[in-house]
Structure 1
Amino acid sequence: MMELSKEGDGMTVKEVSRIAGISVRTLHYYDEIGLLRPETVTGAGYRVYGEKELVRLQQILFFRELGFQLKEIKNIMENPSFDEKEALLKQRDLLQLKRERLLGLVRLIDKTLKGERNMSFQEFDRSWIEKAREEYAREAGKRWGGTEAYRQSEAKTAGYRKDDWARIDAGMDRLFRRFAEAMAFSPEEEAAQGLVREWQQYITQNYYECTGGILAGLGELYRSDERYAKNIERYGEGLAEFMSKAIAYYCK
Protein backbone atom coordinates (compact mmCIF):
# COMPACT_ATOMS: atom_id res chain seq x y z
CA MET A 1 0.00 0.00 0.00
CA MET A 2 1.25 3.50 -0.86
CA GLU A 3 2.32 5.84 1.92
CA LEU A 4 -0.38 8.05 3.36
CA SER A 5 0.91 11.31 4.64
CA LYS A 6 -0.17 14.41 2.74
CA GLU A 7 -3.35 15.23 4.69
CA GLY A 8 -2.95 13.87 8.19
CA ASP A 9 -2.83 10.12 7.74
CA GLY A 10 -4.73 10.17 4.45
CA MET A 11 -4.62 11.35 0.88
CA THR A 12 -6.52 14.19 -0.73
CA VAL A 13 -8.90 13.61 -3.58
CA LYS A 14 -6.36 15.08 -6.03
CA GLU A 15 -3.67 12.67 -4.85
CA VAL A 16 -5.99 9.70 -5.12
CA SER A 17 -6.99 10.87 -8.59
CA ARG A 18 -3.34 11.03 -9.63
CA ILE A 19 -2.25 7.62 -8.34
CA ALA A 20 -5.42 5.83 -9.51
CA GLY A 21 -5.58 7.43 -12.93
CA ILE A 22 -9.20 8.54 -12.58
CA SER A 23 -10.60 12.04 -12.49
CA VAL A 24 -11.46 14.06 -9.42
CA ARG A 25 -14.94 14.38 -10.85
CA THR A 26 -15.27 10.58 -10.91
CA LEU A 27 -14.24 10.33 -7.26
CA HIS A 28 -16.75 13.03 -6.36
CA TYR A 29 -19.44 11.05 -8.18
CA TYR A 30 -18.48 7.83 -6.38
CA ASP A 31 -18.91 9.72 -3.12
CA GLU A 32 -22.25 11.17 -4.23
CA ILE A 33 -23.78 7.78 -5.05
CA GLY A 34 -22.37 6.14 -1.91
CA LEU A 35 -19.98 3.84 -3.76
CA LEU A 36 -16.78 5.27 -2.26
CA ARG A 37 -16.96 7.82 0.51
CA PRO A 38 -13.86 9.55 1.91
CA GLU A 39 -12.68 8.65 5.39
CA THR A 40 -13.18 12.24 6.51
CA VAL A 41 -14.06 15.66 5.15
CA THR A 42 -12.02 18.52 6.60
CA GLY A 43 -13.48 21.75 7.92
CA ALA A 44 -12.47 23.35 4.63
CA GLY A 45 -14.46 20.74 2.72
CA TYR A 46 -11.52 18.63 1.47
CA ARG A 47 -12.11 14.91 1.07
CA VAL A 48 -9.45 12.73 2.72
CA TYR A 49 -9.06 9.01 1.91
CA GLY A 50 -7.47 6.43 4.20
CA GLU A 51 -6.13 2.96 3.52
CA LYS A 52 -9.57 1.32 3.83
CA GLU A 53 -10.97 3.63 1.16
CA LEU A 54 -8.01 2.98 -1.17
CA VAL A 55 -8.50 -0.78 -0.80
CA ARG A 56 -12.17 -0.33 -1.68
CA LEU A 57 -11.24 1.86 -4.66
CA GLN A 58 -8.90 -0.85 -5.93
CA GLN A 59 -11.76 -3.36 -5.73
CA ILE A 60 -14.01 -0.96 -7.63
CA LEU A 61 -11.41 -0.48 -10.36
CA PHE A 62 -10.95 -4.25 -10.71
CA PHE A 63 -14.69 -4.56 -11.25
CA ARG A 64 -14.66 -1.65 -13.72
CA GLU A 65 -11.80 -3.25 -15.65
CA LEU A 66 -13.97 -6.33 -16.02
CA GLY A 67 -16.88 -4.34 -17.40
CA PHE A 68 -19.15 -4.22 -14.35
CA GLN A 69 -21.57 -1.29 -14.15
CA LEU A 70 -21.42 0.99 -11.11
CA LYS A 71 -24.83 -0.19 -9.93
CA GLU A 72 -23.66 -3.82 -10.11
CA ILE A 73 -20.47 -2.99 -8.20
CA LYS A 74 -22.37 -1.16 -5.46
CA ASN A 75 -24.85 -4.02 -5.07
CA ILE A 76 -22.06 -6.60 -4.87
CA MET A 77 -19.88 -4.69 -2.41
CA GLU A 78 -22.78 -3.77 -0.11
CA ASN A 79 -23.99 -7.36 0.01
CA PRO A 80 -23.60 -8.62 3.61
CA SER A 81 -22.05 -11.79 2.22
CA PHE A 82 -19.40 -9.90 0.22
CA ASP A 83 -15.97 -11.41 0.83
CA GLU A 84 -12.93 -9.41 -0.30
CA LYS A 85 -10.61 -12.40 -0.78
CA GLU A 86 -13.23 -14.37 -2.67
CA ALA A 87 -13.87 -11.33 -4.88
CA LEU A 88 -10.16 -11.02 -5.68
CA LEU A 89 -9.93 -14.69 -6.63
CA LYS A 90 -12.95 -14.37 -8.92
CA GLN A 91 -11.56 -11.16 -10.43
CA ARG A 92 -8.26 -12.94 -11.06
CA ASP A 93 -10.06 -15.73 -12.92
CA LEU A 94 -11.96 -13.24 -15.06
CA LEU A 95 -8.81 -11.21 -15.81
CA GLN A 96 -7.04 -14.39 -16.89
CA LEU A 97 -9.88 -15.03 -19.34
CA LYS A 98 -9.48 -11.50 -20.59
CA ARG A 99 -5.73 -12.01 -20.94
CA GLU A 100 -6.25 -15.18 -22.98
CA ARG A 101 -8.54 -13.27 -25.33
CA LEU A 102 -5.96 -10.49 -25.78
CA LEU A 103 -3.19 -13.01 -26.41
CA GLY A 104 -5.38 -14.59 -29.06
CA LEU A 105 -5.76 -11.23 -30.76
CA VAL A 106 -1.97 -10.65 -30.62
CA ARG A 107 -1.37 -14.06 -32.22
CA LEU A 108 -3.90 -13.23 -34.94
CA ILE A 109 -2.08 -9.95 -35.68
CA ASP A 110 1.26 -11.79 -35.84
CA LYS A 111 -0.16 -14.29 -38.34
CA THR A 112 -1.61 -11.47 -40.43
CA LEU A 113 1.73 -9.64 -40.44
CA LYS A 114 3.36 -12.83 -41.70
CA GLY A 115 0.97 -12.89 -44.61
CA GLU A 116 -1.43 -15.53 -43.31
CA ARG A 117 -4.98 -14.67 -44.36
CA ASN A 118 -7.25 -17.21 -42.70
CA MET A 119 -9.91 -14.58 -41.93
CA SER A 120 -10.43 -15.82 -38.37
CA PHE A 121 -12.85 -13.81 -36.22
CA GLN A 122 -13.23 -16.08 -33.21
CA GLU A 123 -10.51 -14.15 -31.38
CA PHE A 124 -12.82 -11.11 -31.29
CA ASP A 125 -15.56 -13.04 -29.53
CA ARG A 126 -16.25 -11.58 -26.06
CA SER A 127 -19.37 -13.61 -25.30
CA TRP A 128 -17.59 -16.18 -23.13
CA ILE A 129 -16.02 -13.45 -20.98
CA GLU A 130 -19.37 -11.68 -20.66
CA LYS A 131 -21.00 -14.96 -19.68
CA ALA A 132 -18.39 -15.52 -16.95
CA ARG A 133 -18.81 -11.96 -15.69
CA GLU A 134 -22.59 -12.25 -15.52
CA GLU A 135 -22.30 -15.57 -13.72
CA TYR A 136 -20.06 -13.99 -11.10
CA ALA A 137 -22.51 -11.12 -10.62
CA ARG A 138 -25.25 -13.68 -9.96
CA GLU A 139 -23.06 -15.66 -7.57
CA ALA A 140 -22.08 -12.57 -5.60
CA GLY A 141 -25.67 -11.79 -4.70
CA LYS A 142 -26.93 -15.36 -4.41
CA ARG A 143 -27.12 -15.54 -0.61
CA TRP A 144 -28.92 -12.22 -0.21
CA GLY A 145 -29.54 -10.66 -3.60
CA GLY A 146 -32.71 -12.61 -4.35
CA THR A 147 -34.47 -11.65 -1.15
CA GLU A 148 -37.30 -9.17 -0.81
CA ALA A 149 -35.11 -7.16 1.59
CA TYR A 150 -32.50 -6.76 -1.12
CA ARG A 151 -35.07 -5.58 -3.65
CA GLN A 152 -36.52 -3.10 -1.18
CA SER A 153 -33.08 -1.77 -0.29
CA GLU A 154 -32.10 -1.40 -3.94
CA ALA A 155 -35.30 0.48 -4.76
CA LYS A 156 -35.15 2.75 -1.71
CA THR A 157 -31.47 3.67 -1.90
CA ALA A 158 -31.40 4.17 -5.69
CA GLY A 159 -32.52 7.77 -5.30
CA TYR A 160 -30.31 8.62 -2.33
CA ARG A 161 -27.87 11.45 -2.86
CA LYS A 162 -24.91 12.64 -0.84
CA ASP A 163 -27.05 14.51 1.71
CA ASP A 164 -29.22 11.44 2.26
CA TRP A 165 -26.20 9.21 2.93
CA ALA A 166 -24.74 11.83 5.27
CA ARG A 167 -28.01 11.89 7.24
CA ILE A 168 -28.17 8.09 7.40
CA ASP A 169 -24.53 7.75 8.45
CA ALA A 170 -24.99 10.37 11.16
CA GLY A 171 -28.05 8.55 12.49
CA MET A 172 -26.21 5.24 12.59
CA ASP A 173 -23.31 6.88 14.38
CA ARG A 174 -25.62 8.24 17.07
CA LEU A 175 -27.27 4.86 17.58
CA PHE A 176 -23.96 3.03 17.88
CA ARG A 177 -22.77 5.57 20.45
CA ARG A 178 -25.93 5.12 22.47
CA PHE A 179 -25.51 1.34 22.30
CA ALA A 180 -21.97 1.81 23.66
CA GLU A 181 -23.36 3.84 26.57
CA ALA A 182 -25.96 1.12 27.24
CA MET A 183 -23.15 -1.38 27.87
CA ALA A 184 -23.25 -0.14 31.45
CA PHE A 185 -26.44 -2.24 31.75
CA SER A 186 -27.38 -5.82 30.91
CA PRO A 187 -28.33 -6.46 27.25
CA GLU A 188 -31.69 -7.75 28.52
CA GLU A 189 -32.55 -4.47 30.24
CA GLU A 190 -34.73 -1.81 28.66
CA ALA A 191 -31.77 0.52 28.11
CA ALA A 192 -30.51 -1.92 25.46
CA GLN A 193 -33.84 -3.38 24.37
CA GLY A 194 -35.22 0.06 23.56
CA LEU A 195 -32.21 0.72 21.34
CA VAL A 196 -32.73 -2.58 19.53
CA ARG A 197 -36.28 -1.45 18.69
CA GLU A 198 -34.92 1.86 17.42
CA TRP A 199 -32.26 0.04 15.37
CA GLN A 200 -34.88 -2.19 13.76
CA GLN A 201 -37.04 0.84 12.94
CA TYR A 202 -34.02 2.72 11.57
CA ILE A 203 -33.15 -0.08 9.15
CA THR A 204 -36.79 -0.31 8.04
CA GLN A 205 -37.01 3.44 7.53
CA ASN A 206 -33.81 3.77 5.51
CA TYR A 207 -33.20 0.40 3.83
CA TYR A 208 -35.81 -2.38 3.94
CA GLU A 209 -38.44 -3.90 6.21
CA CYS A 210 -36.35 -5.35 9.02
CA THR A 211 -38.42 -8.31 10.19
CA GLY A 212 -37.65 -10.23 13.35
CA GLY A 213 -35.94 -12.93 11.32
CA ILE A 214 -33.74 -10.46 9.47
CA LEU A 215 -32.89 -8.65 12.71
CA ALA A 216 -31.88 -11.93 14.35
CA GLY A 217 -29.64 -12.71 11.39
CA LEU A 218 -28.00 -9.29 11.62
CA GLY A 219 -27.36 -9.78 15.32
CA GLU A 220 -25.57 -13.05 14.60
CA LEU A 221 -23.61 -11.38 11.81
CA TYR A 222 -22.35 -8.64 14.14
CA ARG A 223 -20.87 -11.29 16.39
CA SER A 224 -19.56 -13.81 13.86
CA ASP A 225 -18.30 -11.64 10.99
CA GLU A 226 -15.08 -9.88 11.93
CA ARG A 227 -15.64 -7.16 9.32
CA TYR A 228 -18.85 -6.05 11.03
CA ALA A 229 -17.44 -6.62 14.49
CA LYS A 230 -14.36 -4.52 13.73
CA ASN A 231 -16.47 -1.62 12.54
CA ILE A 232 -18.82 -1.76 15.54
CA GLU A 233 -15.93 -2.15 18.02
CA ARG A 234 -14.77 1.35 17.06
CA TYR A 235 -17.49 2.60 19.38
CA GLY A 236 -16.46 0.44 22.29
CA GLU A 237 -14.65 -2.80 22.99
CA GLY A 238 -17.12 -5.68 23.26
CA LEU A 239 -19.96 -3.71 21.63
CA ALA A 240 -20.49 -6.21 18.79
CA GLU A 241 -21.04 -9.04 21.27
CA PHE A 242 -23.27 -6.81 23.41
CA MET A 243 -25.46 -5.84 20.45
CA SER A 244 -25.64 -9.47 19.34
CA LYS A 245 -26.88 -10.58 22.78
CA ALA A 246 -29.34 -7.69 23.04
CA ILE A 247 -30.79 -8.50 19.60
CA ALA A 248 -30.97 -12.23 20.37
CA TYR A 249 -32.93 -11.50 23.56
CA TYR A 250 -35.22 -9.05 21.77
CA CYS A 251 -35.98 -11.55 19.00
CA LYS A 252 -37.12 -14.19 21.50
Structure 2
Amino acid sequence: MRTISQIAKLTGVSIRTLQYYDEIGLLKPSEVTLSGYRLYDDDALERLQQILFFKEMDFKLREIKEFVEEPGFDKIQAYKKQKKLLCLKRSRLDKLIGLLEKLEKGEQCMSFKEFDLSEYIGALEQFKKEKTEEVIKYWGSVDKFNEFIQKVKDDQETLLPIAVKQFGSVEKYTEAMKYNLEHFQELMEQIEEIGEQKDDILKKNDDLYLRLTSDLTRDTTSKEIQDIIQEMMDLTEETSIGIDMGTGYWDMVIESYAGETGRKVMDEKYGAGASEFIAKALHYYIHKQEL
Protein backbone atom coordinates (compact mmCIF):
# COMPACT_ATOMS: atom_id res chain seq x y z
CA MET A 1 0.00 0.00 0.00
CA ARG A 2 1.13 3.53 -0.74
CA THR A 3 -0.03 6.76 0.85
CA ILE A 4 -1.51 9.56 -1.23
CA SER A 5 1.72 11.57 -0.88
CA GLN A 6 3.75 8.61 -2.15
CA ILE A 7 1.40 8.21 -5.14
CA ALA A 8 1.70 11.92 -5.88
CA LYS A 9 5.50 11.75 -5.76
CA LEU A 10 5.59 8.60 -7.93
CA THR A 11 3.19 9.79 -10.64
CA GLY A 12 3.52 13.56 -10.62
CA VAL A 13 -0.21 13.90 -9.99
CA SER A 14 -0.88 16.42 -7.23
CA ILE A 15 -2.40 15.37 -3.91
CA ARG A 16 -5.32 17.74 -4.53
CA THR A 17 -6.00 16.13 -7.91
CA LEU A 18 -6.00 12.66 -6.35
CA GLN A 19 -8.40 13.89 -3.70
CA TYR A 20 -10.65 15.29 -6.42
CA TYR A 21 -10.58 11.96 -8.29
CA ASP A 22 -11.75 10.35 -5.07
CA GLU A 23 -14.53 12.92 -4.62
CA ILE A 24 -15.96 12.31 -8.10
CA GLY A 25 -15.56 8.52 -7.85
CA LEU A 26 -12.99 8.29 -10.64
CA LEU A 27 -10.22 6.82 -8.47
CA LYS A 28 -11.17 5.69 -5.01
CA PRO A 29 -8.41 4.76 -2.53
CA SER A 30 -8.06 1.04 -1.90
CA GLU A 31 -8.37 1.68 1.81
CA VAL A 32 -8.96 4.58 4.19
CA THR A 33 -7.38 4.27 7.66
CA LEU A 34 -9.17 5.13 10.88
CA SER A 35 -7.21 8.38 10.86
CA GLY A 36 -8.61 9.21 7.41
CA TYR A 37 -5.44 8.55 5.40
CA ARG A 38 -5.97 7.31 1.84
CA LEU A 39 -4.00 4.20 0.83
CA TYR A 40 -3.59 2.85 -2.70
CA ASP A 41 -2.67 -0.67 -3.85
CA ASP A 42 -1.24 -1.78 -7.21
CA ASP A 43 -4.71 -2.13 -8.77
CA ALA A 44 -5.48 1.49 -7.92
CA LEU A 45 -2.12 2.56 -9.32
CA GLU A 46 -2.87 0.67 -12.53
CA ARG A 47 -6.24 2.41 -12.80
CA LEU A 48 -4.54 5.78 -12.31
CA GLN A 49 -2.16 4.92 -15.13
CA GLN A 50 -5.15 4.12 -17.35
CA ILE A 51 -6.74 7.45 -16.42
CA LEU A 52 -3.56 9.34 -17.28
CA PHE A 53 -3.39 7.66 -20.69
CA PHE A 54 -6.94 8.81 -21.42
CA LYS A 55 -6.13 12.32 -20.20
CA GLU A 56 -3.13 12.44 -22.51
CA MET A 57 -5.58 11.96 -25.39
CA ASP A 58 -7.73 14.88 -24.17
CA PHE A 59 -10.69 12.86 -22.92
CA LYS A 60 -12.81 14.60 -20.28
CA LEU A 61 -12.88 13.14 -16.76
CA ARG A 62 -16.58 12.33 -17.14
CA GLU A 63 -15.83 10.35 -20.30
CA ILE A 64 -12.92 8.53 -18.68
CA LYS A 65 -15.13 7.53 -15.74
CA GLU A 66 -17.68 6.09 -18.19
CA PHE A 67 -14.98 4.13 -20.01
CA VAL A 68 -13.34 2.52 -16.98
CA GLU A 69 -16.67 1.72 -15.29
CA GLU A 70 -18.28 0.23 -18.40
CA PRO A 71 -19.30 -3.42 -17.85
CA GLY A 72 -16.84 -5.69 -19.58
CA PHE A 73 -14.13 -3.02 -19.75
CA ASP A 74 -11.05 -4.77 -21.18
CA LYS A 75 -7.91 -3.00 -20.02
CA ILE A 76 -5.69 -4.85 -22.52
CA GLN A 77 -7.84 -3.77 -25.46
CA ALA A 78 -7.91 -0.27 -23.97
CA TYR A 79 -4.10 -0.23 -23.89
CA LYS A 80 -3.97 -1.30 -27.53
CA LYS A 81 -6.39 1.42 -28.61
CA GLN A 82 -4.61 4.02 -26.50
CA LYS A 83 -1.30 3.03 -28.04
CA LYS A 84 -2.72 3.45 -31.54
CA LEU A 85 -4.23 6.85 -30.71
CA LEU A 86 -1.01 8.04 -29.07
CA CYS A 87 0.98 6.95 -32.14
CA LEU A 88 -1.37 9.01 -34.29
CA LYS A 89 -0.95 11.95 -31.94
CA ARG A 90 2.84 11.57 -32.02
CA SER A 91 2.77 11.50 -35.82
CA ARG A 92 0.67 14.68 -35.87
CA LEU A 93 2.99 16.43 -33.42
CA ASP A 94 6.04 15.41 -35.46
CA LYS A 95 4.45 16.99 -38.52
CA LEU A 96 3.61 20.17 -36.62
CA ILE A 97 7.16 20.40 -35.31
CA GLY A 98 8.47 19.91 -38.84
CA LEU A 99 6.21 22.69 -40.11
CA LEU A 100 7.32 25.04 -37.32
CA GLU A 101 10.98 24.31 -38.10
CA LYS A 102 10.39 25.35 -41.72
CA LEU A 103 8.55 28.50 -40.65
CA GLU A 104 11.32 29.25 -38.13
CA LYS A 105 13.82 29.23 -41.01
CA GLY A 106 11.71 31.78 -42.86
CA GLU A 107 10.32 29.35 -45.42
CA GLN A 108 6.91 30.16 -46.87
CA CYS A 109 4.81 27.16 -45.93
CA MET A 110 1.05 27.50 -46.37
CA SER A 111 0.31 23.94 -45.31
CA PHE A 112 -2.80 22.50 -43.71
CA LYS A 113 -2.01 18.79 -43.84
CA GLU A 114 -0.31 18.94 -40.42
CA PHE A 115 -3.58 19.77 -38.68
CA ASP A 116 -6.12 17.12 -37.81
CA LEU A 117 -9.83 16.49 -37.49
CA SER A 118 -9.74 15.77 -33.74
CA GLU A 119 -12.65 18.10 -32.97
CA TYR A 120 -14.81 16.48 -35.65
CA ILE A 121 -13.82 13.02 -34.46
CA GLY A 122 -14.71 14.08 -30.92
CA ALA A 123 -18.12 15.20 -32.18
CA LEU A 124 -18.63 11.79 -33.79
CA GLU A 125 -17.76 10.06 -30.50
CA GLN A 126 -20.18 12.31 -28.63
CA PHE A 127 -22.90 11.65 -31.21
CA LYS A 128 -22.37 7.92 -30.75
CA LYS A 129 -22.90 8.22 -26.98
CA GLU A 130 -25.89 10.55 -27.08
CA LYS A 131 -27.69 9.21 -30.18
CA THR A 132 -27.04 5.48 -29.98
CA GLU A 133 -30.50 4.60 -31.33
CA GLU A 134 -29.95 6.75 -34.41
CA VAL A 135 -26.49 5.26 -34.91
CA ILE A 136 -27.93 1.74 -34.88
CA LYS A 137 -30.86 2.73 -37.11
CA TYR A 138 -28.78 4.31 -39.87
CA TRP A 139 -25.44 2.45 -39.56
CA GLY A 140 -26.78 -0.94 -38.50
CA SER A 141 -24.70 -1.20 -35.33
CA VAL A 142 -22.39 0.74 -33.04
CA ASP A 143 -19.49 -1.37 -34.32
CA LYS A 144 -20.11 -0.21 -37.89
CA PHE A 145 -20.20 3.39 -36.71
CA ASN A 146 -16.90 2.79 -34.89
CA GLU A 147 -15.50 1.55 -38.21
CA PHE A 148 -16.69 4.79 -39.83
CA ILE A 149 -14.95 6.86 -37.12
CA GLN A 150 -11.77 4.82 -37.54
CA LYS A 151 -11.88 5.41 -41.30
CA VAL A 152 -12.09 9.17 -40.69
CA LYS A 153 -9.03 8.89 -38.44
CA ASP A 154 -7.12 6.76 -40.94
CA ASP A 155 -8.00 8.96 -43.93
CA GLN A 156 -7.25 12.34 -42.33
CA GLU A 157 -4.39 13.16 -44.69
CA THR A 158 -6.76 12.66 -47.64
CA LEU A 159 -9.76 14.38 -46.04
CA LEU A 160 -7.98 17.47 -44.71
CA PRO A 161 -7.03 19.11 -48.03
CA ILE A 162 -10.51 18.36 -49.37
CA ALA A 163 -12.11 19.91 -46.27
CA VAL A 164 -9.95 23.03 -46.58
CA LYS A 165 -10.67 23.28 -50.30
CA GLN A 166 -14.42 22.90 -49.88
CA PHE A 167 -14.97 24.94 -46.70
CA GLY A 168 -11.95 27.22 -46.52
CA SER A 169 -10.61 25.84 -43.25
CA VAL A 170 -10.70 22.79 -41.00
CA GLU A 171 -12.63 24.84 -38.44
CA LYS A 172 -15.42 25.69 -40.90
CA TYR A 173 -15.59 22.09 -42.08
CA THR A 174 -15.87 20.88 -38.49
CA GLU A 175 -18.56 23.45 -37.73
CA ALA A 176 -20.61 22.28 -40.71
CA MET A 177 -20.22 18.60 -39.80
CA LYS A 178 -21.15 19.25 -36.16
CA TYR A 179 -24.30 21.05 -37.32
CA ASN A 180 -25.21 18.00 -39.42
CA LEU A 181 -24.75 15.73 -36.41
CA GLU A 182 -26.85 18.00 -34.19
CA HIS A 183 -29.68 17.88 -36.76
CA PHE A 184 -29.01 14.33 -37.93
CA GLN A 185 -32.49 12.84 -37.43
CA GLU A 186 -34.17 15.79 -39.11
CA LEU A 187 -31.75 15.67 -42.06
CA MET A 188 -32.15 11.92 -42.51
CA GLU A 189 -35.93 12.25 -42.58
CA GLN A 190 -35.65 14.91 -45.27
CA ILE A 191 -33.23 12.73 -47.24
CA GLU A 192 -35.71 9.86 -47.08
CA GLU A 193 -38.47 12.15 -48.36
CA ILE A 194 -36.28 13.30 -51.23
CA GLY A 195 -35.34 9.68 -51.92
CA GLU A 196 -38.98 8.99 -52.69
CA GLN A 197 -38.78 11.65 -55.41
CA LYS A 198 -35.43 10.40 -56.73
CA ASP A 199 -36.62 9.43 -60.21
CA ASP A 200 -38.37 12.77 -60.73
CA ILE A 201 -35.32 14.72 -59.51
CA LEU A 202 -32.94 12.74 -61.74
CA LYS A 203 -35.17 13.38 -64.76
CA LYS A 204 -35.33 17.13 -64.04
CA ASN A 205 -31.56 17.22 -63.65
CA ASP A 206 -30.97 15.29 -66.87
CA ASP A 207 -33.40 17.55 -68.76
CA LEU A 208 -31.46 20.60 -67.60
CA TYR A 209 -28.16 19.12 -68.79
CA LEU A 210 -29.72 18.22 -72.14
CA ARG A 211 -30.98 21.79 -72.57
CA LEU A 212 -27.61 23.17 -71.49
CA THR A 213 -25.62 21.05 -73.96
CA SER A 214 -28.08 21.02 -76.86
CA ASP A 215 -25.88 23.48 -78.77
CA LEU A 216 -22.24 23.65 -77.67
CA THR A 217 -21.51 26.56 -79.99
CA ARG A 218 -23.46 28.98 -77.80
CA ASP A 219 -21.77 31.58 -75.62
CA THR A 220 -21.48 30.15 -72.09
CA THR A 221 -21.87 33.66 -70.64
CA SER A 222 -25.14 34.34 -72.48
CA LYS A 223 -28.38 34.92 -70.60
CA GLU A 224 -29.87 31.81 -72.16
CA ILE A 225 -27.13 29.56 -70.79
CA GLN A 226 -26.87 31.33 -67.45
CA ASP A 227 -30.63 31.02 -66.92
CA ILE A 228 -30.30 27.25 -67.30
CA ILE A 229 -27.42 27.24 -64.82
CA GLN A 230 -29.64 29.19 -62.43
CA GLU A 231 -32.33 26.50 -62.76
CA MET A 232 -29.70 23.87 -61.98
CA MET A 233 -28.65 25.81 -58.89
CA ASP A 234 -32.27 26.14 -57.78
CA LEU A 235 -32.79 22.38 -58.15
CA THR A 236 -29.63 21.69 -56.16
CA GLU A 237 -30.77 24.04 -53.41
CA GLU A 238 -34.19 22.37 -53.26
CA THR A 239 -32.67 18.93 -52.86
CA SER A 240 -29.75 19.84 -50.58
CA ILE A 241 -32.12 20.11 -47.55
CA GLY A 242 -30.13 23.01 -46.18
CA ILE A 243 -26.84 21.13 -45.80
CA ASP A 244 -23.88 23.49 -45.95
CA MET A 245 -21.86 22.43 -49.00
CA GLY A 246 -19.03 24.89 -48.37
CA THR A 247 -17.95 27.96 -50.32
CA GLY A 248 -15.60 25.91 -52.48
CA TYR A 249 -18.07 23.17 -53.40
CA TRP A 250 -18.90 24.41 -56.88
CA ASP A 251 -15.25 25.01 -57.73
CA MET A 252 -14.66 21.36 -56.89
CA VAL A 253 -17.57 20.39 -59.15
CA ILE A 254 -16.08 22.49 -61.94
CA GLU A 255 -12.71 20.80 -61.45
CA SER A 256 -14.35 17.38 -61.61
CA TYR A 257 -15.44 18.10 -65.19
CA ALA A 258 -11.80 18.65 -66.13
CA GLY A 259 -10.76 15.29 -64.67
CA GLU A 260 -10.47 12.29 -66.94
CA THR A 261 -13.41 10.41 -65.41
CA GLY A 262 -15.77 13.41 -65.32
CA ARG A 263 -14.87 14.46 -68.84
CA LYS A 264 -15.40 10.96 -70.21
CA VAL A 265 -18.78 10.49 -68.53
CA MET A 266 -20.20 13.88 -69.53
CA ASP A 267 -18.84 13.81 -73.08
CA GLU A 268 -20.22 10.33 -73.69
CA LYS A 269 -23.65 11.30 -72.38
CA TYR A 270 -24.02 14.83 -73.76
CA GLY A 271 -21.57 14.99 -76.66
CA ALA A 272 -17.89 15.69 -77.26
CA GLY A 273 -16.87 18.93 -75.56
CA ALA A 274 -19.88 18.94 -73.22
CA SER A 275 -17.74 18.64 -70.09
CA GLU A 276 -15.65 21.70 -70.94
CA PHE A 277 -18.76 23.66 -71.97
CA ILE A 278 -20.54 22.90 -68.67
CA ALA A 279 -17.42 23.78 -66.67
CA LYS A 280 -17.10 27.16 -68.42
CA ALA A 281 -20.78 27.96 -67.91
CA LEU A 282 -20.62 27.06 -64.21
CA HIS A 283 -17.38 28.96 -63.71
CA TYR A 284 -18.86 32.14 -65.16
CA TYR A 285 -21.99 31.79 -63.00
CA ILE A 286 -19.98 31.26 -59.79
CA HIS A 287 -17.33 33.90 -60.45
CA LYS A 288 -19.11 36.52 -62.56
CA GLN A 289 -19.06 38.96 -59.66
CA GLU A 290 -15.27 38.79 -59.72
CA LEU A 291 -15.05 39.68 -63.43
Shorter-chain TM-score: what band? 0.3 to 0.5
Instruction: Please report the TM-score for the alignment, with normalisation by the length of structure 2.
Output: 0.41
Higher relative contact order (CA closer than 8 Å, sequence separation 6+): 1
Structure in which a larger fraction of residues adopt helix: 2
**Larger radius of gyration between Structure 1 and Structure 2:** 2
